[in-house]
A and B are shown apart, each in its own frame.
Chain A
Amino acid sequence: MNSDTVEVIRTLDAEDRVVGVFSEIVREPEFWGALADRPKVGSWRDPDVEAIAALKPDLVIAYTRNPGPILERKMAPFGIQVLRLDLYKVAALEREVLVLGRLLERDKEAARFCAWHHQRLGAIQERIAQTDRRPSVYMESYTDYHAVGPSSGGHEMCVLAGGRNIAAVLAIPYPRVTAEWVVSQNPEVIVKPAVYGNGYSLKDAAPFNKRREALLGRPVWGHIAAVTSGNVHVLDSSIWTGPRAIIGIAYLARWFHSKLFSDLDPEALHKEYLETFQGVAYHGVFVSDYPGGAGR
């Protein structure tokens, strides 16, 4: 019922077990391939119960909090079980992949992915541990001046990439802030996920660059360290949280600690993930160009 689950099921080489998929899958045909042709059962927040019942699945997989408990109540009369997983959270990903692997009898595939993920993330963590420097970062959500705050997936990625999220001290996950607050915090790096991004369909970075230019041109932002140094980045939402967050974390680590990670190639990591676990050839563009060439 959500993209994260379908992606992990494909990682486990069990896509033949999927009888219904989330309706929005048609928006990314380049990534989902034949899976996009499976019957649609609504969105992650608003499932089509009748469509699900008609498919007679053994199991429906949804996020922990969305949709609410009503999903279990509506599925019960049809004898359909509901499993709740939050595969978009990096901290929970490996544990939940193993659970899903056990359920689908794909333990070997699950262990293989977890080992890969653990090794790649661990390598980044080990290198970050070599320095006490934590550059200040302003991460803006899809809507202008909505910071990525504590308890959000983006904040988790920032910390794992060795950054200090300036909005970590705020009270809610996506607080609205003023331009003046951002200027007064003077962050060293600015990161924003692209709103309508589908990086797999792009030929060049023009849409990301346009958004980046808009960030650079905001009133008084010329006084922010990140803007004067050009350390402002836009990245595709496909690598912003979810099972591909490891790729986003690699980009962030590269932007936060350019010398420490000068040999880290997020594009190669992305290619490796797609070809090894998704059976998809690497294509597309996922971040804005970065003066000095460290972006891509």
Chain B
Amino acid sequence: MSATAETLYRRYKARAGVKTLVLVLAVFLLAVGMVVGLCVGASGMGLGQVLASLLKDTGRDHGIVWLIRLPRIIMAALVGFGLGLAGSVFQAVLRNPLASPFTLGVGSAAGFGAVSVILFMGGGFQTYRVAAGAFLLTLLSAALILAVARMKSASSETMILTGIAQMFLFSSLTSLFQYMGTMEQVHEVVFWFFGSLSKAGWPEIGLTAIMILVPFPFLLSRAWDFNLLASGDDSALALGVNVKRLRMTSVVAASLVTAGGICFTGVIGFVGLVAPHITRMVIGNDHQFLLPVSGLVGALLVVVADTLGRSIWAPQVIPIGIVTSFVGVPFFFYLLMKRSKEYW
């Protein structure tokens, strides 16, 4: 190994060490956030009582911890992780800082699926039906992007334009259905779009975990390809990356993750866009770290937002979709101003 190569290798190892530290710190902060969230609630249980109720059956308190607080916090972390991960994948494969599950229309499609069920299948009462509607439309929207991309050589521009077009299409269809709905149905639709963790239970967590965590190893295994793609389609092709296939499979996997993230909770916007940017500003563009840390930052954002949403105006709950923006935007601006150089 030449002296220059050795220096580069050492520098890479040193940076990788820092990034590993950031990864560990993100895990630690998420764990702290989840414990704090677990101790916040209307029944006034402190940490000691929560721990006691976790370990043994103390009746009502045991139920509150195991069936209300814990599922809510785990769901918040899972959904945040999924949205952060999906956002970083969309931004990588489309090489666009504005890409996210929602700017690509995937969120609008999910919303349209949920609204269709609420209006025509008595959905408000059937959490699983609404989730299935949101899930199917999310996959349909991914299929639509892929179909157009397949005909037009899977360029990032084609995918983004298709995504934006279908975002407007599904938003218009949702508005049309809302217009046709009763006052009660419209009310329910509006709150689906605000996002809510109140219906999180263990079966829902199981399904969400499958949809988010199963595609994760596949996406992580493509981290080097995403790194190469950052230097352009031609460079990646020259270095042996099948750009077309990478783009298609990654969009499908990230859409599945998005669908898993929002089908039970409704739209929790902004996280998928901002979590990857926050992460990139801190640790750079190495997708080996960017993907998991974006997920962890997303998880932390949603857990903190949920805890704040439940506590600052208690016992009223401020919808999670609103609080994530209030929490994330100032932090995002802070990092943006603090950065002395371009990060994208």
Q: Are B64 and A143 in contact (CB under 8 A)?
A: no
Residue in A46, A170, A211, A220 whose CB lies within 8 Å of B60: A220
B101 in the interface, Cβ–Cβ < 8 Å? no
Given A196-B184, A211-B125, does the pair A220, B317 have CB atoms closer than 8 Å? no
What residues of chain A lie closer than 8 Å to B232, measured between beta carbons?
A: none
Contact B59–A223 (Cβ < 8 Å): yes
Q: Are B122 and A196 in contact (CB under 8 A)?
A: yes
CA distance A32 to B64 in the complex (A): 46
Contact between A214 and B69, CB atoms less than 8 A apart: no
- Complex contacts, B187 vs chain A, CB 8 Å: 141-143, 146
Q: Which among A177, A183, A184, A237 is the interface contact of B184 at CB below 8 angstroms?
A: A237
> What per-residue 1/0 map shows which CB atoms of B287-312 lie under 8 Å from chain A?
00000000000000000000000100
Pick the contact of B182: A27, A145, A171 (CB < 8 A): A27
Partner of B63 from A46, A142, A143, A219 at Cβ < 8 Å: A219
Task: Considering the complex, give the chain B residue whose CB is closest to the CB of A223.
Answer: B60
Q: Is B13 close to A, CB under 8 A?
A: no
C-alpha spacing A288/B63, complex, angstroms: 27
Q: How far is the CA of A41 from the CA of B122 in the complex (A)?
A: 27
Q: How many of chain B's residues touch chain A, expressed as a range? A: 35 or more
Chain B residues, Cβ within 8 Å of A141: 187
- One of B68, B191, B201, B317 near A143 (C-beta < 8 A): B191
* A176 sits at the interface (CB 8 A): yes
Q: Is B284 an interface residue (CB 8 A)?
A: no
B316 interfacial contact with A, CB 8 Å: yes
List A residues 222-243 near B (Cβ within 8 Å).
222-223, 237
Give the CA-CA distance A162 to B42 in the complex, in Å. Answer: 26
Report the minimum CB–CB distance from A219 to chain B (whole Å).
Answer: 4
Closest residue of chain B to A182 (Cβ to Cβ) is: B42
- Looking at the complex, which one of B43, B196, B199, B317 makes contact with A183 (CB distance below 8 Å)? B43
Residues of the A chain whose Cβ atoms lie less than 8 Å from the Cβ of B179: 46
B314 contact set on A, CB distance < 8 A:
181
Q: How many residues of A contact B (CB 8 A)?
A: 32
Contacts of B198 in A (CB 8 A): 144-145, 176, 178-179
- Asked if B233 is at the interface of the complex by the 8 Å CB criterion, the answer is no
Q: In chain B, what residue has the closest Cβ to A222? A: B63
Chain B: minimal CB distance from A119 (Å): 31
**Interface contact B64-A171, CB-CB below 8 Å:** no
Give bound CA distance, A45 to B187, whole Å. 13
Cα-based distance from A24 to B184 in the complex (angstroms): 13
Set B44, B59, B68, B316: member contacting A177, Cβ < 8 A: B316
Interface pair A144/B199, CB less than 8 Å apart = yes
A171 CA / B313 CA spacing, docked (Å) = 9
| C-alpha gap A46/B186 in the complex (Å) | 14
User: Could you say which residues of chain B place their CB within 8 Å of the CB of A214?
Assistant: 125
Asked if A220 and B199 make an inter-chain contact with CB atoms under 8 angstroms apart, the answer reads no
Whether A220 lies near B184 (C-beta < 8 A) is no
Asked if A171 meets B316 with Cβ closer than 8 Å, knowing A180-B64, A219-B67, the reply is yes
Other than the known A46-B179, A220-B60, what 18 A-B pairs have Cβ atoms closer than 8 Å?
Answer: A145-B196, A170-B316, A175-B317, A176-B191, A176-B316, A176-B317, A176-B318, A177-B42, A178-B41, A178-B198, A178-B310, A179-B68, A179-B198, A181-B315, A184-B42, A184-B44, A220-B63, A220-B67
B interface residue numbers (CB < 8 A to A): 41-44, 59-60, 63-64, 67-69, 71, 122, 124-125, 179, 182-185, 187-188, 191, 196, 198-199, 201, 310, 313-319
Interface CB pairs A-B, < 8 A, 6: A143-B187, A178-B198, A178-B315, A180-B69, A195-B124, A223-B59
